[in-house]
A and B are shown apart, each in its own frame.
Chain A
Amino acid sequence: MKSKFTTAVVTAIALAGPAMADLVVPNLSYRTGAYAANGIPYADGFNDYFTLLNERDGGIGGEIVQVPECETAYNTEKGVECYESTKGMGALAYNPLSTGITYQLIPKVTADGITLYTPGYGRTSAANGSVFEWVFNYPANYWDGASVAIKYLLDENGGDLAGKKVTLLYHNSAYGKEPIRTLQALSEKHGFELQAVPVDHPGQEQKSQWLQIRRDKPDYVLMWGWGVMNQVAIQEAVNIRYPMDHFIGIWWSGSENDVKPAGDGANGYKALTMHGTGMDYPIYADIQKYVVDAGKAAGAGDMVGTVLYSRGMYAAMVIAEAIRKGQEIHGTSAVNAAQVRDGFENLEITEERMAELGLPQFGPPFAASCTDHGGPGAAMIQQWDAAAGTWNSITGFIAPDDAVLDPLVAEDSAAFAAENNITPRCQ
């Protein structure tokens, strides 16, 4: 009786977990809690892309991709628990969509030898591959975002921001504080006055901050927000009649969720984006056919083409391409985590490849290397059209000011290396 029970338990565990030969990419998602509205479309896009590869192509290099999902509720402790509970499945890479979780996982993935991929979030200086061997954050990071925003404002002002006032409204967290250092350096370089205004989590009440903005009358407001902070900030900006086309959010403050609650008032609001949005990409026909119509979509299928769905799909695409590269380098389809890391480090995404994937002009081409885990850092500016309910790109990809950013990345990563006794490699 006892042995039958043991056999049943072992069988159940074996069936519940991924098959040993499968490629495993856990999805540390958040479909519950205060940030669920953002976590859901991202997780759907992430899952649906791998489902598409499995259904249409039979996986990657003939290997089916398993995407076990673990709910973090955007909580750092839960995120770490999710990591610990899934890494034993043979996890090849993690993308936790949380800067707080990322900071906790960096030492863990380094010790365990698993790639941490944090596109557009996480620790900015992880772009320095010589220090952060197991972390990648291409195609862009927060400091790139700050620089691109300022370059856009320079373009808008004939190349001169001297004497202008720029306010940074930021989520008072590790994430929100990331761009401050870069903006301070850029303010010294370009002569604009920078004021940083923090908003405490969750950001439901921002009266003080917007009274201050109304008094100070900054020429531009940049926002590093997430979740309800974005919606309230945009509504408060409408309330004080702040010109929306002078209000620019980072890519985490630029989804449909952020602007729709403010209705027509949000018209003209701008945000950065590191990838294209909307349905004008051939890949969506395949997602409709192989995923949504087949009843295999991660969600209800109603998020396809939205900003955060597109971003989750993009992250999955990069991970899939890194796996493919790892397979190519090592000549085996059943790659392990170390081989996939090699794939990340040697990954080259060209425009031709993006077109083959059904995503022409979707993201910037880039080539990673041993030292460069951060990519080109280019981003576009998009603007919200409230009447049409769409984001429209109003610029092409703008490259960041590497002359300012490179020393900052070098300084921060050197400090991390010193704190953690890391000897930089491949210099």
Chain B
Amino acid sequence: MPDQLVYAMEVTLNGLMAGVMYSLVALGFVLIFKASGIFNYAQGVLALFAALTLVGLQQGQVPFAHLINAVFGTDLHHFGWHLPAVVAIALTAGVMVLMAIAVEKLVLKHLVNQAPIILFMATIGLAYFLEGFGDVMWGADIKKLDVGLPQGISETIESVTADWFGYGFFIDNLDIVATVVAVALVTALTVFSQYSKQGRALRAVADDHQAALSVGISLRFIWVLVWSIAGFVALVAGIMWGTKSGVQFSLSLIALKALPVLMLGGFTSIPGAIVGGLIIGVGEKLFEFSIGPMIGGATENWFAYMLALLFLVFRPQGLFGERIIERV
């Protein structure tokens, strides 16, 4: 088989894997937009905050240590424990639920019936607040995140593809785990929304706020629920991306990789977030591989948006989004 074709296959597989990583971020946006019509600008920062909290709890870091030490003249830094990853993840999920409650009580409750742009602006404020809050709470240094996920080349895939094609493919074990987690997450979310009482209520609110309220569904509870789930999804995204680069404040910028996925897949579809992620991932990687070297490389960021725009021209609601028809 010609080398270029084999390389293109390797690039395609890696594009699919990268797409899954983008989808993990995009899922959080979709959940909140679907349930409340809010484009949550803070989703990337939620992933950062969740990852910071996870590392902080796992390593026994004293929250607000710098502030406490500065005010009281103490020298506190660590509690002296190292929690097992599962416990730390569970506790962090709990923190994300508490944050969802706080967001509902302190922000969303006061903005009921406001225009979507007002709610969007509120999430911008929330993003900046959370970034600063995370900084004061856990510090801005880069933290190594280790929850036991495997990283590095999959030797099995390398060996098998070497036998088949004469060239061993590179697939990162972390990407394989991310794919499994994404499949499990989407399955769990689908089962939850289809078969649980709360899931049905969530879908009812997504379909029609007014009708859902008229049958006794609590909008406030739904908001807490959906922000909690989005917080959990952000935690998963934060773990995957944080394992790759360490937990640091640039983690919030992963939201930039989710936007073209949302534009392409649609803001209201969970399968759309996955399929959109895969198309963006493969598209940008193949373009970089085939055309990038001719035009100086570094094409992925803009190509993802160009691809999304191209889809928008033909399907403004995205591949799986709901078509919005407003009658005058």
Asked whether B116 is an interface residue with its Cβ less than 8 Å from the other chain, the reply is: no
A176 vs chain B, min Cβ distance (A): 10
Which of A30-38, A136-144, A280-288, A418-426 makes up part of the contact surface? A30-38
Asked whether A392 is an interface residue with its Cβ less than 8 Å from the other chain, the reply is: no
Which of A126-134, A228-236, A325-333 makes up part of the contact surface? A228-236
Shortest beta-carbon contacts, A-B, top 4: A261-B246, A34-B250, A198-B298, A36-B140
B35-74 residues with Cβ-Cβ distance < 8 A to A are 66, 69, 73
Judge whether B14 and A207 touch: CB under 8 Å. Answer: yes
Asked whether A200 is an interface residue with its Cβ less than 8 Å from the other chain, the reply is: yes
Judge whether A232 and B244 touch: CB under 8 Å. Answer: yes
Judge whether A208 and B289 touch: CB under 8 Å. Answer: yes
A352-378 residues with Cβ-Cβ distance < 8 A to B are none
Asked whether A254 is an interface residue with its Cβ less than 8 Å from the other chain, the reply is: no
Pick the residue among B11, B248, B253 that contacts A211 (CB under 8 A): B11
Judge whether B249 and A34 touch: CB under 8 Å. Answer: yes
- Collect the chain B residues with CB atoms within 8 Å of residue A31's CB: 140
B322 vs chain A, min Cβ distance (A): 30
- Closest chain B residue, CB of each to CB of A257: B142
Residues of chain B touching chain A, judged by Cβ–Cβ distance below 8 Å, are 7, 10-11, 14-15, 17-18, 21, 66, 69, 73, 131-132, 135, 140-146, 151-153, 170, 172, 241, 244-246, 248-254, 257, 284-285, 288-289, 292, 296-298, 300-301
Judge whether B144 and A205 touch: CB under 8 Å. Answer: no
Judge whether A37 and B141 touch: CB under 8 Å. Answer: yes
Judge whether B248 and A40 touch: CB under 8 Å. Answer: no
- Collect the chain A residues with CB atoms within 8 Å of residue B11's CB: 208, 211
- Collect the chain A residues with CB atoms within 8 Å of residue B15's CB: 207
- Collect the chain A residues with CB atoms within 8 Å of residue B21's CB: 205
Judge whether A239 and B152 touch: CB under 8 Å. Answer: yes
Given known pairs A36-B249, A204-B253, A208-B11, the reply for A235 and B244 (CB within 8 Å) is: yes
Give the distance in Å from the alpha carbon of A300 to the alpha carbon of B140 in the complex. 12
- Collect the chain A residues with CB atoms within 8 Å of residue B292's CB: 208
Given known pairs A32-B135, A208-B289, A300-B69, the reply for A263 and B250 (CB within 8 Å) is: no
17 extra A-B contacts, CB within 8 A, seeds A208-B285, A300-B69? A32-B132, A37-B249, A196-B297, A198-B298, A200-B300, A202-B253, A204-B251, A207-B18, A208-B284, A211-B289, A215-B7, A231-B245, A235-B151, A238-B151, A239-B172, A241-B153, A260-B144
- Collect the chain B residues with CB atoms within 8 Å of residue A241's CB: 152-153
Asked whether A120 is an interface residue with its Cβ less than 8 Å from the other chain, the reply is: no
A247 vs chain B, min Cβ distance (A): 16
Given known pairs A33-B249, A36-B135, A204-B253, the reply for A211 and B296 (CB within 8 Å) is: no
Pick the residue among B14, B152, B248, B297 that contacts A231 (CB under 8 A): B248
- Closest chain A residue, CB of each to CB of B3: A215
7 pairs from A and B in contact (CB 8 Å cutoff): A40-B141, A204-B254, A205-B21, A208-B14, A210-B170, A228-B251, A240-B170
- Collect the chain B residues with CB atoms within 8 Å of residue A198's CB: 296-298
Judge whether B14 and A211 touch: CB under 8 Å. Answer: yes
- Closest chain B residue, CB of each to CB of A176: B298
- Collect the chain A residues with CB atoms within 8 Å of residue B297's CB: 172, 196-198
Give the distance in Å from the alpha carbon of A207 to the alpha carbon of B286 in the complex. 11
Asked whether A189 is an interface residue with its Cβ less than 8 Å from the other chain, the reply is: no
- Closest chain A residue, CB of each to CB of B284: A208
A48 vs chain B, min Cβ distance (A): 16
Give the distance in Å from the alpha carbon of A263 to the alpha carbon of B250 in the complex. 19
- Closest chain B residue, CB of each to CB of A210: B170
- Collect the chain A residues with CB atoms within 8 Å of residue B284's CB: 208
Give the distance in Å from the alpha carbon of A212 to the alpha carbon of B259 in the complex. 26
- Closest chain A residue, CB of each to CB of B247: A261
Judge whether B170 and A228 touch: CB under 8 Å. Answer: no
A349 vs chain B, min Cβ distance (A): 31
- Collect the chain B residues with CB atoms within 8 Å of residue A67's CB: none
Judge whether A37 and B10 touch: CB under 8 Å. Answer: no
- Closest chain B residue, CB of each to CB of A233: B245
Interface size of A in residues (CB-CB distance below 8 Å): 40
Given known pairs A198-B296, A208-B285, the reply for A231 and B253 (CB within 8 Å) is: no
Give the distance in Å from the alpha carbon of A31 to the alpha carbon of B28 in the complex. 28
- Closest chain B residue, CB of each to CB of A214: B170
B267 vs chain A, min Cβ distance (A): 22
A213-247 residues with Cβ-Cβ distance < 8 A to B are 214-215, 227-228, 231-232, 235, 238-241
Pick the residue among B135, B170, B300 that contacts A205 (CB under 8 A): B300
- Collect the chain A residues with CB atoms within 8 Å of residue B141's CB: 37, 40, 257
- Collect the chain B residues with CB atoms within 8 Å of residue A227's CB: 248, 250
A117 vs chain B, min Cβ distance (A): 25
- Collect the chain A residues with CB atoms within 8 Å of residue B144's CB: 260-261, 263
- Closest chain A residue, CB of each to CB of B18: A207
Judge whether B246 and A34 touch: CB under 8 Å. Answer: no
Give the distance in Å from the alpha carbon of A257 to the alpha carbon of B250 in the complex. 13
Residue of A32, A37, A198, A199 contacting most chain B CB atoms (<10 Å): A37
Pick the residue among A208, A228, A260, A265 that contacts B300 (CB under 8 A): A208
A177 vs chain B, min Cβ distance (A): 10
- Collect the chain A residues with CB atoms within 8 Å of residue B301's CB: 200
B306 vs chain A, min Cβ distance (A): 14
A201 vs chain B, min Cβ distance (A): 8
* Interface 1/0 per residue, A341-355 and B, CB below 8 Å: 000000000000000
- Closest chain B residue, CB of each to CB of A209: B297
A224 vs chain B, min Cβ distance (A): 13
Give the distance in Å from the alpha carbon of A33 to the alpha carbon of B248 in the complex. 9
Judge whether B140 and A40 touch: CB under 8 Å. Answer: yes
- Collect the chain A residues with CB atoms within 8 Å of residue B153's CB: 239-241
- Closest chain B residue, CB of each to CB of A39: B140
- Collect the chain A residues with CB atoms within 8 Å of residue B244's CB: 204, 232, 235
Give the distance in Å from the alpha carbon of A207 to the alpha carbon of B18 in the complex. 8
- Collect the chain B residues with CB atoms within 8 Å of residue A211's CB: 7, 10-11, 14, 170, 289
- Closest chain B residue, CB of each to CB of A31: B140
Residue of A36, A208, A210 contacting most chain B CB atoms (<10 Å): A208
- Closest chain B residue, CB of each to CB of A197: B297
Give the distance in Å from the alpha carbon of A96 to the alpha carbon of B193 in the complex. 51
A175-211 residues with Cβ-Cβ distance < 8 A to B are 196-200, 202, 204-205, 207-208, 210-211
- Collect the chain B residues with CB atoms within 8 Å of residue A202's CB: 250, 253
A5-40 residues with Cβ-Cβ distance < 8 A to B are 31-37, 40
- Closest chain A residue, CB of each to CB of B151: A239
- Collect the chain A residues with CB atoms within 8 Å of residue B288's CB: 208
- Collect the chain A residues with CB atoms within 8 Å of residue B250's CB: 34-35, 202, 204, 227-228
Give the distance in Å from the alpha carbon of A228 to the alpha carbon of B153 in the complex. 21
Judge whether A260 and B241 touch: CB under 8 Å. Answer: no
